[in-house]
Amino acid sequence: MSYNVNAVRKLFPALQEHFNGRPAIFFDNPGGTQVPQSVIDAMSDYLIRRNANTHGVFETSMRTDVTIDNTRQAAADLLGADVDEIVFGNNMTSLTFALMQSIKAEFGPTDEIIVTRLDHDANVAPWLMLAEDTGARLLFADIDPESCTLDMAHFHSLISPRTKLVAVGYASNATGTINDVASVISWAREVGAYAFVDAVQYAPHALIDVKALDCDFLMCSSYKFFGPHAGIMYGKREHLKRLRAYRVRPAGEELPGKWETGTKNHEGLAGVGAAIDYIAGLGVSYGGVSAAAPRREKITAAWQVLAPYELQLMERLIAGLEAIQGVRIYGLTEREAMSSRVATVSIRKEGTTPEQLATALAAENIFTWNGNFYALSISERLGVESSGGLLRIGLVHYNTMDEVEKCLRVLATVK
């Protein structure tokens, strides 16, 4: 079956709602996506029929244990991991800070940490604090400001026997750039450094395979891929076993429980599992995969359908922006380079500020973000931080070509 965006949109209650008397266009997706009814139902069902703490001998507690186990398996299927390598937490940022505390004892003044100027600060600040606390040296891999891509030659030149950790984003939340994380991970492997990947912005757009990447850690957040606010950490089993986790004593040393401090967000995890099953379901509906196929196969099929659709939207958005006088697009714009970015596009327009653009769009119920989106380093590197940052337009598979056209019409009128 060909992809039917209108049928998919009917699965999302927020897309049927009216805000200030009119439907909204959600282009704020890089900051958080809308959720399908199945996610809402799963969370409601948990609170009605399964609401309890874990490991009890009574019915609702046992149902909670099953919910967590099922969601852990779903997350493992999403990332291509094993179930005991999946850790749940509040969000990517909290999980990263917790991991930083655990590996801190391994770092000292002779060690070096490499981060990039393209990353969200959640993949910079924890490592900056690690360097401050241990005396390690923090190095920044630079970017090409014209294409907003990593300067891979500069990045590689920073790798040395002193490198202890390399942290890189899979895709930029500011410019949409997809980074060559496979090469970065291989460089880390060569010198025995940790390879850490922030996949928060990549997860809503494409398939992730942690085993193929061979990264040590990878983070993502459910609310960026059509679920509730919850975070997921993948960690290689050998590291999760060996490293010290800051935990209460009764939690024990078993994986992955030793990493999940306190009571988890059980209703949120029910929603996470439903969000992953939603993606898998699209693989059945439009990817030609049997409903009886393994979940990982369904997820793979879903992205094979959704990614080309998003590409069509992004190509039209970029072409339309290029036709508007005074607009500068930050990031890759050549048609042949589109496969090297996700459908997140940031711009500025001469004579206006990003806030003015976002305000004009909001007046037409088109929701976008303005500012630095916590990608502070690239905002500073591009020289836009002091003048309001960027306007960010983020597309996902439930957006439509008509929505793109309306956005372009409004932007063309703002002066």
Higher pLDDT, 75 or 253: 75
Mean pLDDT along residues 216-221: 98
Query: Please, which pLDDT band fits residue 138 given cuts at 50, 70 and 90?
Result: very high
Task: For strands 369-371 and 390-394, give the pairing.
Answer: antiparallel
Query: Please, which pLDDT band fits residue 400 given cuts at 50, 70 and 90?
Result: very high
DSSP letter at 23 equals E
Assessment of whether the complete model's pTM goes beyond 0.75: yes
The two domains 5-34+295-413 and 42-275 share their CATH topology (first three levels equal): no
Encode pLDDT of 152-205 as tens digits: 999 999 999 999 999 999 999 999 999 999 999 999 999 999 999 999 999 999
Encode pLDDT of 49-92 as tens digits: 999 999 999 999 999 999 999 999 999 999 999 999 999 999 99
For residue 143, which of 174, 165, 97, 113 has the smallest C-alpha distance?
A: 174
Annotated domain spans of the chain? 5-34+295-413, 42-275
pLDDT of residue 207: 98
Fold held by 42-275: Aspartate Aminotransferase; domain 2 (3.40.640)
Encode pLDDT of 142-167 as tens digits: 999 999 999 999 999 999 999 999 99
pLDDT of residue 251: 84
Query: Is the model's pLDDT at 325 over the cut of 90?
Result: yes
Mean pLDDT along residues 261-288: 97
Q: Classify 332 in phi/psi space as left (phi over 0), alpha (psi -120 to 50) or beta.
A: beta
Tell me the H-state helices in 50-115.
59-79, 92-103
Query: Please, which pLDDT band fits residue 36 given cuts at 50, 70 and 90?
Result: very high
Q: Which residues contact 157 (CB under 8 A, 6 or more apart)?
A: none
Query: Please, which pLDDT band fits residue 249 given cuts at 50, 70 and 90?
Result: confident
Distance CA 228, CA 43 (A): 9
Are 87 and 233 a contacting pair, CB within 8 Å?
A: yes
Mean pLDDT along residues 17-30: 96
For residue 170, which of 119, 121, 211 has the smallest C-alpha distance?
A: 119
Residue type, 252: G
State which CATH number among 3.90.1150.10, 3.10.310.30, 3.40.50.970, 3.20.20.60 fits the domain covering 5-34+295-413: 3.90.1150.10
pLDDT of residue 212: 98
